[in-house]
């Protein structure tokens, strides 16, 4: 962002070009955030699947930490799904 700010501050670009540059940065940031969220959700899903698989192994003596971590994983996934639903409802509600 500092490179963009220095380019913009030189006043060598038109307002349209500056708006376009900021739009490109905003799109890149949105894509980055989306990919980060997908990576975190994939990690949660993998951790959840691994914990469930380990719990099914008869000789694996899972302690309470495994169950607690699995509970937190499920809670976070549920909270994120609720957040997505809230955002969707608010966004769609704005188009009435």
Cα gap 6→11, rounded to integer Å: 9
Do 81 and 45 touch, CB atoms closer than 8 A?
Answer: no
Tens digit of pLDDT for each residue in 6-44?
Answer: 555 666 778 888 899 999 999 999 999 999 999 999 999
Ordered by start, the domain boundaries in the chain are 2-93
Note if the pTM is more than 0.75. Answer: no
Say what the pLDDT of residue 37 is. 94
How far CA 18 is from CA of 2, 4, 12, 30, in Å, comes to: 14, 9, 10, 18
Place of tokens 């000789």: 59
Q: Which burial class, exposed, middle or buried, applies to 21 when counting CB atoms under 10 A from its CB (0-12, 13-18, 19+)? A: middle
Least Cα distance to 76 among 53, 46, 44 occurs for 44
């Amino acid at each position: 962002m500092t490179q963009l700010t220095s380019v913009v501050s030189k006043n060598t670009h038109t307002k349209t070009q500056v708006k376009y540059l900021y739009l490109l940065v905003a799109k890149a940031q949105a894509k980055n955030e989306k990919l980060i969220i997908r990576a975190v959700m994939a990690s949660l899903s993998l951790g959840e699947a691994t914990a469930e698989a380990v719990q099914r192994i008869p000789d694996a003596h899972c302690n309470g930490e495994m169950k607690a971590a699995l509970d937190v994983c499920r809670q976070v996934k549920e909270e994120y799904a609720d957040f997505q639903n809230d955002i969707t409802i608010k966004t769609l509600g704005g188009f009435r």
